[in-house]
Amino acid sequence: MDILGVLLILLSLIGVIVGVVGLIKGSIKVLKIISRKQVGLLILACFILFIVGGAMISTGATDTPATVAGDVAKQVTDIDGAEETSSQTVKELEQEKALSTDGNGDVDEEPPASAPDVLATTTTVSRDLEVHFIDVGQADSILIKAPGGNMLIDAGNNGDADLITSYIKKQGVKTLDVVIGTHPHEDHIGSLDVVIDTFDIGKVYMPKVEHTTQTIEDVLLAIKNKGLKITAPVAGSTFNVGEVKCRILAPNSSKYDDLNNYSIVIKLEFGNTSFLFTGDAEKVSEDEMLQKHKDKLSSDVLKVGHHGSNSSTIQGFLDKVNPKYAVVMVGKNNSYEHPHKVVMNRLKEKGVTVYRTDENSTIVANSDGNNITFNTKPGSYLGSSSGGGTTGSIAPTTPAPNTKEPPNVTNNNRTVYWTPNGKSYHYTDKCSTLSRSKTILSGPLSSCPKSDPCDRCTY
Ligand SMILES: [Zn+2]
Ligand SMILES: [Zn+2]
């Protein structure tokens, strides 16, 4: 289209030059145009040609993807009929194509009123993306500053309101286009009410859970007072925050025994970089994601689930996410002894670079669409029995009095096994982690002094 347009424009320019010469000389004998009126008509015709040519070039340009890769990707997408875009590499699209032919039922449900997908037409980004993992101790709060929009995932404990709101203000953020309360535990939605009161808020995502606490009621009241509505997450759907594409990967069921598994899990894609935010999602939810969204899990940065607890980050899930970097949001010397050693070892064995709020305080990741950098040096792989980084002390045998998260609903009469100095309890005395233990104690779970289930035998 545009070659023809250029030709038309060239032709019209030549015509105008010939016409102007004709006007000066009175006529153009070569073309048998002998009156000034005919020369005028020639110039008018050339002008029309010029306009038509220009219009052809401009429509041609919008049809043409900016890059060769985009071109191929577009063709793949067309064959596929998928909603994927040239922002993804051809390889990824081919993988998706392969997966879709195995009858994988993972469908994107674009909310009808969502903003136009900016990444659909460009592989370059206008400005860097910043992901701030705000140090709120044993809790989560993550500010995402994207070109064209801001998002907050979780808002710490009730006592973190001043810290979080002043941090967000200091970043020059006045509007949070999307606010996500991953699940209704206090360490995730504690200060969400104050955040909603303080900033201009677009959409609020929270999972549908029948559960009531004062904290939840405060948040619901703040939402109501501001005339906002809660949007329930739909796994598989996507929405945009500025130039960032967000994909909801969990929850995938409507009912769970543990509140943590209601956690909204979000994958964020920016240029060629990606982040996975898992809230407190545990093995049950990770298994569902492995079944339903296995081709969408791969991410550069993983916000490690449930503060590094061994309830989460199972090997299969970690392998599929296959992150370069992991962020553990965890309080110094917290009563849960998060993060657990087994999780930190899994990250270490995979060579994942770890950042953790108990050692690094607030962590800021910066993405230019191709590379991710951090504002701080990596943290350690210390976990569990070493109290999240300090010197080894024997695990406390009684649960902390200010337990914020209810214990897992399990059968308290079940016989479990433990060792005097071990961290966890076991469902079987044949568990491989007990193979070298001389003293194995047993009794009903209700009288067991250990609060952590072993990640090998209690699943
Ligand atoms: Zn939780
Ligand atoms: Zn939590």
Q: What is the pLDDT, as a whole number, of residue 377?
A: 97
pLDDT category of residue 186 using cuts at 50, 70 and 90: very high
From the CA of 387, how far away is ligand 2's center (Å)? 17
Return the ligand number nearest the Cα of 188. Answer: 2
E strand or H helix that includes residue 127:
none
Return the ligand number nearest the Cα of 157. Answer: 2
In whole numbers, what is the pLDDT of the chain averaged over residues? 79
pLDDT digits (tens, 9 = 90+) for 241-280: 999 999 999 999 999 999 999 999 999 999 999 999 999 9
From the CA of 115, how far away is ligand 2's center (Å)? 31
Type of residue found at 257:
D
Quick check: 72 pLDDT over 90? no
From the CA of 150, how far away is ligand 1's center (Å)? 24
From the CA of 259, how far away is ligand 1's center (Å)? 7
From the CA of 279, how far away is ligand 2's center (Å)? 7
From the CA of 156, how far away is ligand 2's center (Å)? 9
Quick check: 359 pLDDT over 90? yes
Contact 284, 260 (CB under 8 A): no
Residue 288 token pair: 């569902």
Residues with Cβ–ion distance below 5 A, ligand 2: 187, 280
3-state secondary structure 243-306: CEEEEEEECCCCCCCCHHHHCCEEEEEECCEEEEECCCCCHHHHHHHHHHCHHHCCCCEEECHH
Q: How far is CA 106 from CA 100, 237, 281, 336, 368, in A?
A: 8, 10, 20, 36, 29
pLDDT digits (tens, 9 = 90+) for 76-101: 333 333 333 333 333 343 333 333 33
From the CA of 454, how far away is ligand 1's center (Å)? 19
Rounded Cα gap, residues 250 and 233, in angstroms: 8
Return the ligand number nearest the Cα of 306. Answer: 2
From the CA of 405, how far away is ligand 1's center (Å)? 6
Lowest mean pLDDT across 28-37, 148-157, 202-211: 28-37
Q: Which of 168, 178, 123 shows the shortest CA–CA distance to 148?
A: 178
CATH number for the segment(s) 129-374: 3.60.15.10
pLDDT category of residue 426 using cuts at 50, 70 and 90: confident
Whole-number percent of the chain with pLDDT over 90: 55
Whole-number percent of the chain with pLDDT over 70: 66
Quick check: 61 pLDDT over 60? no
**b/e for 102-134, b at 16 or more Cβ within 10 A?**
eeeebeeeeeeeeeebbbbebbebeebbbbbbb
From the CA of 245, how far away is ligand 2's center (Å)? 25
From the CA of 280, how far away is ligand 2's center (Å)? 5
Residue 226 token pair: 């501001």
Q: How far is CA 148 from CA 118, 125, 157, 234, in A?
A: 10, 11, 28, 24
Quick check: 289 pLDDT over 60? yes
Lowest mean pLDDT across 119-128, 168-177, 391-400: 391-400
Q: How far is CA 45 from the centre of its chain?
A: 56
From the CA of 248, how far away is ligand 2's center (Å)? 19
From the CA of 306, how far away is ligand 2's center (Å)? 5
DSSP state of 41: H
Return the ligand number nearest the Cα of 211. Answer: 1
From the CA of 210, how far away is ligand 1's center (Å)? 15
User: pTM, whole model, 2 decimals?
Assistant: 0.61
Residue 142 token pair: 């993550």
Type of residue found at 152:
L
Q: Is the dihedral of CA 132, 134, 135, 138 positive or negative?
A: negative
